[in-house]
Chains A and B, each alone.
Chain A
């Protein structure tokens, strides 16, 4: 399993806020993604109606997921694919290890796959002596740094160009030291050259899947680079890693989701390459893999189907939620501590690694609602985060001091007479204390606030007290 640092969320956040390069990278890229999504939506009048359709397609599929998986398995088998079911992450790792072993693989190329991160595949294969090469440029950039992705579609969003140049010079020692690496185009050309050799040398190519289509037994990937296509076409063996909820009934259903995906992710009308793969090469095909394996992972998702978190399984991995999240765009993806960052991560991570480890994630939200507003699948993300807070509260996982404060406040809030009586005493006192400056620079019990902000003093008396006076004819 990918290393989990979610329990250290607050430390992660502190580090992220002080990381100047991360902050620079976030401020450069994130606002553009949100703006472009807005423009794409404005350019397609049917966008909102398509969101409803997309949500309905996923809801229908999830309600019949067992049967659609069976239908997919049958069709994929007819096309010559081997379909493997993996109840757990360990099962999935073993399946892929066995496939690689049977193929006598030495080099493995990978297209972007969040599932492979989730199950911790790379270190496992490397321990078997395999060379594993990420081919999505962003994934390659972080692989050579030994980092994990910080965004689900732009994994290296946190890196600046200078950092990339430094990494290339450090790692690509076979190339002339005096070469120019000033322009992004030069860096891309170098990555292309290095990775081209790996594409050709690979024995096994592993890709993820945005969708698995039951009607045809196909898997679908979307890229702008074309790396997924080279990964899955050149080696002898193609392995698809997908989780159970990627199922979609028909090609037409996929059309609807494709109409939403790229527009929500990057504001493009469609990704440069949307590829539908079905089985290995046919007898007459001059190229393509000889074997196609599809590994379908559960790892806790089946359980979600029966829970109040079911809607999170509609996700099509566009990343719009995090692009629009004020928290994500302030702290970046690594702070979330595991594979899935941003609002989707705040809901999914507790489900997959346990709410105790991930407890900060659903709490670190202002519930501004932008994620739900932009989610193409209309996942009610803030409401789902609130469900996690309810679970934490009822299991006693909320910090003690906070619980006590809440209980004291609740005792008064449920009793209007007591509440107003206490307020009539406390508020004028606080108002008097703050009258000179009009605000507090420091206030006991309010350290979290006053560390960074002044706290306005109350006016003088409560509204209820003043209103009672008004009603009694006492002038204000």
Chain B
């Protein structure tokens, strides 16, 4: 059985609001991958959102309240794993920074943060997973979501696992590490700029000749999927966890059932 440390660690899945509300199949894919990697997966019910919408709007009070309830919900787990680089980054880096000055919470936040991981990097770096048992005949390209890349160093891990998917041809995306233009509330507050950025991204995606686009963050994926479909491009968009887990029975993002 792959993995290091405890024989069967207890992982709390931080679902993320977008997965919870828009695409549960990503959550189930995450559960499968974690279980296959020898973890016992639990999903605390007292979680809603990591708080980025409030945090990035300058509402520290709301963010702190959300941080506190989230930290409390996951205190009994060995690890906290999220299928999202931006949510994991928020939990791991920004919660401790936010609560540093609060004597009641600063130690709890630090202890919590130490357990937080983004999903794919957790599988590869902590559980030692190097291959997945999945098959997909497709030509896919991969976008590096900003927070996962720059806050958490998620870059090689998804590519490593994708290369082990039988039948999958992985094509590198030009400017894979350049923002897709989502930025959370930015996409609706400054839609003109967001659109200009995602149009450039869509051109790069189309230029790969791929029939599938993958990434590790649902916000980015919905942004890029929405643009590709508005442009009439036939490129299937999925979360990387879905492909790694072989959970492909649901339609791709934005596709009709």
Point out residues on A near B: beta carbons under 8 Å.
10, 13-14, 17, 326-327, 330-331, 363-370, 372-373, 386, 388-394, 398, 402, 406, 409-410, 412-414, 416, 419-420, 423, 427, 435-439, 441, 446, 448-449, 451-464, 466-468, 476
Contacts and interface: CB of A to CB of B under 8 A. Distances in A.
B190 A364 contact: yes
B60 A467 contact: no
Given A419-B48, A452-B191, A463-B15, A369 B226 contact: no
Lowest 7 CB-CB distances: which A-B pairs, in order?
A366-B183, A453-B226, A393-B58, A389-B58, A448-B188, A438-B256, A463-B24
Interface in B12-30: 15, 17, 19-25, 27-28
Interface string B193-230: 11111101000000000000000000000110111011
Given A326-B181, A369-B150, A448-B188, 13 more contacts: A363-B189, A366-B181, A368-B150, A368-B179, A388-B58, A413-B49, A416-B46, A449-B226, A451-B191, A452-B230, A453-B226, A456-B22, A467-B27
Given A365-B186, A366-B183, A386-B56, A414 B62 contact: yes
Contact of A455 (B146, B196, B226): B226
Contact of B229 (A370, A406, A439, A476): A439
A464 B187 contact: no
B146 A366 contact: yes
B192 interface: yes
A464 B226 contact: no
Contacts of A406: 53-54, 57, 59, 62
A412 B48 contact: yes
B111 interface: no
20 contacts: A13-B190, A326-B178, A327-B197, A331-B193, A363-B190, A364-B190, A366-B182, A366-B184, A366-B194, A367-B146, A367-B147, A393-B58, A402-B57, A402-B189, A416-B46, A427-B21, A436-B256, A438-B251, A438-B257, A463-B24
Contacts, number: 202
A458 B62 CA distance: 26
A391 B128 CA distance: 44
Contacts of A409: 53-54
Nearest to B145: A368
**Main DSSP-derived SS at the B contact region:** helix
A332 B86 CA distance: 27
B19 to A, nearest CB: 6
Contacts of B172: none
Interface of B: 15, 17, 19-25, 27-28, 43, 45-49, 51, 53-60, 62, 65-66, 69, 146-147, 150-151, 178-179, 181-184, 186-198, 200, 222-223, 225-227, 229-230, 250-251, 253-257
A198 B210 CA distance: 57
Contacts of A17: 192-193, 196
Contacts of B223: 453
A236 B150 CA distance: 51
Contacts of A388: 58
Contacts of B147: 367, 369
Given A366-B179, A453-B198, A390 B24 contact: no
Given A330-B193, A393-B59, A449-B191, A370 B45 contact: no
B24 A462 contact: yes
Contacts of A459: 22-25, 250
Contacts of A423: 20-21
Contact of B55 (A13, A386, A455, A467): A386
A461 to B, nearest CB: 7
A406 to B, nearest CB: 6
A413 B183 contact: no
B150 A466 contact: no
Given A326-B179, A413-B66, A414-B69, A448 B48 contact: no
A452 B195 contact: yes
Contacts of B150: 368-370, 372-373
A470 to B, nearest CB: 8
Contacts of A394: 58
Contact of A398 (B57, B191, B196): B57
Nearest to A453: B226
Contacts of A419: 48
Contacts of A326: 178-179, 181, 197
A364 B24 contact: no
Nearest to B22: A458
B91 to A, nearest CB: 14
A83 B96 CA distance: 46
Nearest to A372: B150
Nearest to A331: B193
B58 A398 contact: yes
A453 B55 contact: no
Contacts of A464: 15, 20, 43, 45
Given A364-B193, A453-B227, A438 B255 contact: yes
Nearest to A431: B22
B228 to A, nearest CB: 9
A441 to B, nearest CB: 8
A386 B181 CA distance: 17
Contacts of B226: 439, 449, 452-456
Q: Which of A419, A435, A459, A461 has its CB near the most chain B CB atoms (within 10 A)?
A: A459
A458 B21 contact: yes
B166 to A, nearest CB: 25
A35 to B, nearest CB: 10
A410 B21 contact: no
Contacts of B45: 416, 420, 464, 468
Q: Which of A368, A402, A436, A455 has its CB near the most chain B CB atoms (within 10 A)?
A: A368
